[in-house]
Amino acid sequence: MDNTEGKVAHSSGAPSTGLKPVKLSGANLISAVVSGDSGRLGEMERGLSPEKALQGSHLRDYSGRQAIKGLLLLLMRTVNFFNVGKGMNKAQAMETCDLLYEEYPHESLEDFAVCFRNARKGVYGTVYDRIDGGVVFGWVRQYMEEKSLVREKVIGEQQRAHQRAREKQFEQERSTIAEAYKRLRKEPWLPPGKKAKATSDEEYRAFRQRYIAEKLAKHQKNKP
């Protein structure tokens, strides 16, 4: 595609992208597209996945202009991959990217890199004689459905890991209390009037209550 036909063409130079991501590699990704370094870009894309894209900078972390520029470069790399009779002109591509930015502000440039790579591989079906905004949004919707399942899996794994950590902490705390109780068994602490009648269970419960209260008081005192 060339400019004389109203199409969007890649630059053969390596101008600054102006992207300043907060978290991951969005700027590096776009830099590779702009420079035309297909080997570097292919390596970067092969290293991406929906799981890794979850960690990427959201589109909203860029200015609108920067995010749309990044989307446009990624989109046109894919449009130029296909040999179709009805491609996308500059106005169509810009409007599509503007709508993508509006619709998916919480997704990352890495998400769209994965999505468009899948499209080039035919994951979302065969591209026949046209590519337009409707086709592109169809790709993105299919990718987002896949990503939602990945997100649920990741969140579930994080919740299970958190639960295991809490259970481990509880077991450690309980063990610490039991050991402390054994060491101080000769000096039981009980409410007034209970000492003479106390059973070992009552002593332990009373000691545990005191131990926890002291730990909480110490924690509150040390809080900034």
Question: Which residue would you say has higher pLDDT here, 16 or 90?
Answer: 90
**Is 16's pLDDT higher than 50?**
no
Question: Which residue would you say has higher pLDDT here, 157 or 30?
Answer: 157
Please tell me the total count of domains within the chain: 2
Residue 111 lies in a domain: yes
- The whole-number pLDDT of residue 152 equals 86
Are 41 and 33 a contacting pair, CB within 8 Å?
Answer: yes
Cα–Cα distance for residue pair 157/152, rounded to 1 Å: 9
Write the DSSP symbol of residue 60: G
Residue 149 lies in a domain: yes
Examine the domain organization and report whether 188 and 94 are in the same domain. no
20 — pLDDT class (breaks 50, 70, 90)? very low
Examine the domain organization and report whether 208 and 113 are in the same domain. no
Q: Both tokens of residue 62?
A: 């860029």
Examine the domain organization and report whether 127 and 190 are in the same domain. no
**Is 51's pLDDT higher than 90?**
no
Buried b or exposed e, range 27-54, using 16+ CB within 10 angstroms:
bebbbbbbbeeeeebeebbeebebeebb
Mean pLDDT of 209-213: 71
Examine the domain organization and report whether 189 and 148 are in the same domain. no
Examine the domain organization and report whether 108 and 195 are in the same domain. no
Q: End-to-end alpha-carbon separation of the chain, Å?
A: 61
**DSSP-based three-state secondary structure for 118:** helix
Examine the domain organization and report whether 104 and 189 are in the same domain. no
Examine the domain organization and report whether 134 and 209 are in the same domain. no
122 — pLDDT class (breaks 50, 70, 90)? very high
**Is 120's pLDDT higher than 80?**
yes
Examine the domain organization and report whether 36 and 114 are in the same domain. yes
Q: Taking the CA of residue 15 as centre, how many other CA atoms within 13 Å lie in the half-sphere pointing to its CB?
A: 8
Q: Taking the CA of residue 14 as centre, how many other CA atoms within 13 Å lie in the half-sphere pointing to its CB?
A: 9
Domain that residue 217 falls in? 184-222
7 — pLDDT class (breaks 50, 70, 90)? very low
Q: Count the neighbouring beta carbons within 10 Å of the beta carbon of residue 17.
A: 20
**Is 5's pLDDT higher than 50?**
no
pTM: 0.60
Examine the domain organization and report whether 106 and 194 are in the same domain. no
Examine the domain organization and report whether 38 and 97 are in the same domain. yes
> 124 vs 145, 151, 210, CA distance in Å?
12, 20, 63
Are 106 and 151 a contacting pair, CB within 8 Å?
Answer: no
